[in-house]
Structure 1
Amino acid sequence: MRAFTTFSPLRKTLLGLAMAGALGAAGQAQAGEVEVLHWWTSGGEAKAVGELRDLLEAEGHEWKDFAVAGGAGDSAMTVLKSRAMSGNPPAAAQINGPSIQEWGELGLLGNLDGVAEAGNWDELLPEVVSNMMRHDGHYVAVPVNVHRVNWLWANPEVLEDAGVEMPTTWDELFAAGETLRDAGYVPLAHGGQPWQDATIFESVVLSLGGSDFYRRAFVDLDEKTLQSDTMIEALTTFKRLRKLMDEGMPGRDWNLATGMVIDGEAAMQIMGDWAKGEFTAAGMKAGEDYVCAPVPGTKDAFTFNIDSFAMFQLGDEEAREAQKTLARLILEPEFQKTFNQIKGSIPARPDLDMSGFDSCAKRSMQDFQAARDANTLVPSMAHRMAMRSDVQGAFFDIITNYFNSSDMAAEQAAERLAQAAKLAM
């Protein structure tokens, strides 16, 4: 992963306010209070984050919830930038991937090295996880979990009723889609939002190009790769998937799409394993009431999204202690197990006993470790893991415009992706 030294256009303004404003305003927090910005607002997510709140309050500190709805965190990041510009960031904020480095460059993040040393984070965390939690060699964030993004979810009763099997190739998926449509079901539930479009697209790219191709495209931003025949094939396959979706998808939230699978209105959904939290909240059991499988063609790879909380600098000593307690609790076994069983993800620390997790989570942990050993772990482009936020925004615009355009060719979309990558260099 590259170390980024540029931020969004807000960088210059934020730098001028970073130290004096942030330390002054943040230091006014009540003793022992931690204001936590996050975007976990769906049923399963809200229940999961409530576990962390309860643990913090059990140790005598106060949790001030700052939830901003929006599945990919775009709205939350807009609010966070506004708060930072006014010199009043929260104590902790859900910030993922390279964005941690961007905020670290602004000098706003606190130092968690003492908590990390006491908790032996270097030994507990896989290197791919711990590296993302550091800025300039120092821990500034703590990982909550590891999500697998390249999952295909399905309602087995719907599949059985239509007489189709869980698809393992794109050809099988398209063939199943026709049969499911004829049987009166929506073949593929989807929410027409840019981040959801990008979630599907990155899985198609991984499937058809493999992990090395994926990295060249989305991490290295290689222009030749972005304009290649393989990328054009991925774009073409991606757009074909639109025919498997319903007309009501524009603007639909991801959890509502998951609800379509839960209710038997739709057969399948391509979505990260946070979708499993919705199945769990609905009282459904993995392997029986719903089934999971890697997106066709990606069974040997693992697209990861690491949820993490970055800690902002605070002036008040008691507030800093509460903040450190929050960081410590996040990586303790009790929270890691309880939270991830509810959320649908797997623990950030792989040393924990997985016997209490469901079959999808157990497979996810096995596949994560296998992909780590085989060097087929790839960071999610759609979920702030692979590239700078401004580049990601440009890619989102191109991907979703292409997906919804009746006259943009795959070759045009590929060329625009390459142009966006060129401007980012």
Structure 2
Amino acid sequence: MKALCAAFAATTAICAATAANATDLEVTHWWTSGGEAAAVAEFAKAFDATGNKWVDGAIAGSGGTARPVMISRITGGDPMGATQFNHGRQAEELVEAGLMRDLSDIAEAENWREVIRPTSLLDSCTLDGKIYCVPVNIHSQQWLWLNNSVFEDNGLEIPSNWDEFVAAAPKLEEAGITPLAMGQQPWQTTLAFQVLLVALAGPETYTKIFGDKDAELAAGPEMAKVFQAAATARDMAKDSNVQNWNDATNMVITGKAAGQIMGDWAQGEFQVANQVAGEDYTCLPGLGVNEVIQTGGDAFYFPKVDDPAITEAQGELAKVMMSPEAQVAFNLKKGSLPVRGDVDLEAANDCMRKGLAILDKGNIIQAPDQLMSADSLVQVNDLFVEFFNSPSMSAEDAQEQFAAIVGSAD
């Protein structure tokens, strides 16, 4: 921590005011797909309307690619004005090192505690009673996305759950269609496993393993079924030769693949392609088995800087991101749910309404980033990259290694 603080001592101002009361603010994030770019443009437009200027600092690739760059800049004395992280513990060391701005005064003045739901989202931004980030959405990874016409054109009923989807796979393969689209980025294979875990073993099992680090449960017979299902998913995705998640989503949109296990951010890609939820595609929360919403998502942190103009602009952006208007505009484009519980979502489509209904019932779980440290999650990611890329690795071997990781996780 001392090294981090020492590095920050060399920080210099990062942006200059373009005019009186107008400040350029560099905002780094990893939203670069079509749907993501359309969503982030809503934040930029709302911030520019304050008289300041959003300077887009998009970093191509996933969060795993972008986060090391962001952290290096902050600890190296070249901080941006604001930066994206996921809800949870990813920025914990930066906050502990005193490198992130305390937003508690803004949160109190804007009544965040009263309007954000569930309140666990704000808790994930809180350390030692102080609030350090702005949660901007609720992203759940617990979804199966299906191309309706792929099933209809092949004389198959559109699946309503995971088992029906698996049963349709042989006929789809005969027709030259990849049953399950899956990119090769590490987090995607882990995501698929986690979704299968919650759907087939249940939310309580998931929370005990990732939250309580229950290694005995991770090695037990209930989880053996999940690993067998993961092996089935691996086989269904064997012809999915793409890297990025949005390329896998595009396989579904174009009918090259029948379905994809992916978070609700995939919906942004369907919207950009002018696909209509409930007509052109079907979304199954919890794989149609255990319908839950994971309270993960994105949040923005604001590195401390010495420039008063930047500090003021940071405060403006924090308020804008939490405003009802920006919350609706951004999340309708992103495919995620707003963090405010008091906004009008009359324009919500079929899939967003499913998510809101589940949220209203209180069927929620925390995201892995909220339950397990970043270092431990990297080990989990590495294991499932190896598993999904190595047909020779058995489900039993993968489960044994997973249980060991869980047992030593923090």
Question: TM-score, normalized by length of structure 2?
Answer: 0.94
Q: Tell me the distance in 1 between the aligned counterparts of 2:224 and 2:155.
A: 32
* Cα displacement string for residues 92-142 of structure 1 (whole angstroms, at most 9, x for unaligned residues): 111121213332112111011221122110100121111112222111100
Distance in structure 2 (CA, Å) of the matches to 1:46 and 1:270: 21
Equivalent residue number for residue 365 of structure 1: 356
Take 2:224 and 2:6, find their aligned partners in 1: how far apart are those partners?
43
Cα deviation, 1:170-220, whole Å, max 9, x if unaligned, reads 332211111211223221111122111011100111112211110111122
- Against the structure 1 CA distance between its residues 271 and 182, is the aligned structure 2 distance closer, same or farther, given a 3 Å change threshold? same
Greater CA drift, 100-109 or 134-143:
100-109
Unaligned 5+ segments in structure 2 are 18-22
User: Per-residue deviation at 1:423?
Assistant: 3.2
Counterpart of 1:5 in structure 2 is: none
- What amino acid does structure 1 have at the position aligned with 2:163? D
Task: Find the partner of 1:259 among 234, 238, 250.
Answer: 250
* 1:218 aligned partner: 210
Looking at structure 1, the residues matched to 381 and 356 of structure 2 have their Cα atoms a distance apart, in angstroms, of 29
Q: In the alignment, which residue of structure 2 is the partner of 1:17? A: 7
Q: 2:16 aligns with which of 27, 30, 37?
A: 30
- Equivalence for 1:90: 80
> For the aligned residues, what is the CA RMSD?
1.7
Q: In structure 2, which of residues 99, 102, 106 is the aligned counterpart of residue 115 of structure 1? A: 106
**Counterpart position of 1:48:** 39
Name stretches of at least 5 consecutive residues in structure 1 with no aligned partner.
Answer: 1-10
Which residue does the alignment assign to 2:115? 124
Cα deviation for residue 14 of structure 1 reads 2.3
Separation (CA, whole Å) in 1 of partners of 2:269 and 2:186: 21
CA distance in structure 1 between the aligned counterparts of 2:350 and 2:337, rounded to whole angstroms: 12
Matching of residue 180 in structure 1 with residue 172 in structure 2 = yes
Q: How does 1:215-294 map to 2 (within 5 A)?
A: 215-249=207-241, 252-294=243-285
TM-superposed deviation, 1:297: 5.1
Corresponding residue number in structure 1 for 2:20: none
Please give the alpha-carbon distance, in whole angstroms, between the structure 2 residues aligned to 1:45 and 1:94. 13
TM normalised by structure 1 equals 0.90
For 2:123 and 2:384, the matched residues in 1 are separated by 29
Give aligned pairs, total: 403
Query: Are 2:49 and 1:62 aligned?
Result: no
Deviations 1:50-78 (A, max 9, x none): 1111111121112121111123x011111
* Residue 222 of structure 1: how far off its partner (Å): 1.6
- Report the CA distance shift for 1:28/1:147 in structure 2 as closer, same or farther (over 3 A): closer
The structural deviation recorded for 1:28 is: 4.2
| 1:233–1:13 CA distance, 2 compared to 1 (3 A) | farther
CA distance in 1, matches of 2:44, 2:127: 26
Is residue 348 of structure 2 the alignment partner of residue 334 of structure 1?
A: no
Q: Is the 8 A contact 2:240 2:248 kept in 1?
A: no
Maintained 8 Å contact 2:181/2:249: yes
Structure 1 CA distance for aligned equivalents of residues 240 and 348 of structure 2: 34
User: Is contact 2:82-2:302 (8 Å) kept?
Assistant: yes
Change (3 A) 1:188 1:117: same
Residue number among 291, 302, 318 corresponding to 1:300 in the alignment: 291
Q: Which amino acid aligns with 2:7?
A: L
**Aligned ranges 1:387-406 → 2 under 5 Å:** 387-406=372-391
Give, in angstroms, the shift of residue 248 of structure 1: 4.3
Residue in structure 1 matched with residue 407 of structure 2 by the alignment: 422
Q: In structure 1, give the amino acid aligned to 2:143.
A: W
* 1:167 corresponds to: 159
Report if the CA contact (8 A) 1:202-1:380 is conserved.
Answer: no
Distance 1:291 1:172 in 2: 14
| Structure-2 separation of matches of 1:284 and 1:330 | 27
Alpha-carbon offset, residue 235 of structure 1: 1.3
Offset at 1:246? 4.4
Q: CA deviation at 1:352?
A: 1.2
